[in-house]
Amino acid sequence: MKELPSVEKLAIDLLGKSLDQLEVEEAKVLQHIHHVQRTSRDVGDIVDEQATFGERLSDKVAAVGGSWKFIMVFAAVLLGWMLLNTEILGKLGKAFDPYPFIFLNLMLSTVAAIQAPIIMMSQNRQSSKDRIAAAHDYEVNLRAELEIMRLHAKIDALLEIIKRENAGAPSLR
């Protein structure tokens, strides 16, 4: 079996740099090439492995709070609250939150004050996920480019061998 080139040799041959001059991503890709390992992975899996309970919870809250189902249910609850306190209990003189719905406004402000930072946490997590995805895409693209360069060199070597063998052979014409 043919011995694999060292990571240092790959660095010089493919990137024209010594191993200590490489970026972290470049060294990682060359390690994968040297050990004949896959470079690509599902970024979602990578991020989910690193996620804390709070991060996963903020994603779920943002997913629910940013859905049409939530908006429709929330609008129905608000409309029900207002109808209850004006038409039903209001006419009986027993409304617990009569117009202008001060308690309802307090509840809405509280929900907004809690929900906004949770959604921002989820957006920050999404930004982090996007950065990880971009770095991973760079590694995969670099790996593909380097492998194409290696294949190109092998094809050139084969063409050179064929050319040398054909140079000594008599012409068929």
Instruction: Summarize pLDDT for 31-65 with one digit per residue, the tens.
Output: 998 888 888 888 888 888 888 999 899 889 889 98
Could you give the count of Cα atoms lying within 13 Å of 56 in the half-sphere of its Cβ? 9
Contact 122, 61 (CB under 8 A): yes
What pLDDT is recorded for position 111? 92
Q: Could you give the CA distance from residue 97 to residue 95 in angstroms, rounded to a whole number?
A: 5
Decide if 128 contacts 48 (C-beta within 8 A).
no
pLDDT digits (tens, 9 = 90+) for 112-125: 999 999 999 999 99
Q: How confident is the model at residue 70 (pLDDT cuts 50, 70, 90)?
A: very high
pLDDT-derived band of residue 151, with 50, 70 and 90 as boundaries? very high
> What's the whole-model pTM score?
0.67
Contact 26, 142 (CB under 8 A): yes
26 has a pLDDT exceeding 70: yes
For residues 152-170, average pLDDT:
88
What 124-133 contacts at long range (C-beta under 8 Å, 24+ apart), as own/partner pairs, is: 125/47, 125/51, 125/55, 125/58, 125/59, 128/47, 129/43, 129/44, 129/47, 132/43, 132/46, 132/47, 133/43
Question: pLDDT tens digit string along 82-103?
Answer: 999 999 888 888 999 999 999 9
Q: Side chain identity at 51, as an amino acid letter?
A: A
> What would the DSSP string read from start to end of 21-67?
GS-HHHHHHHHHHHTT------HHHHHHHH--HHHHHHHHHHHHHTS
Query: Is the C-alpha dihedral spanning 84, 87, 92, 94 positive or negative?
Result: positive
| Dihedral, CA of residue 84, residue 86, residue 89 and residue 95, to nearest 10 | 100
Task: Please compute the mean of the pLDDT values over residues 127-148 and round it to a whole number.
Answer: 92
Q: How many Cα neighbours within 13 Å face the side chain of 111?
A: 11
Burial class (CB within 10 angstroms; exposed 0-12, middle 13-18, buried 19+) of 122:
buried
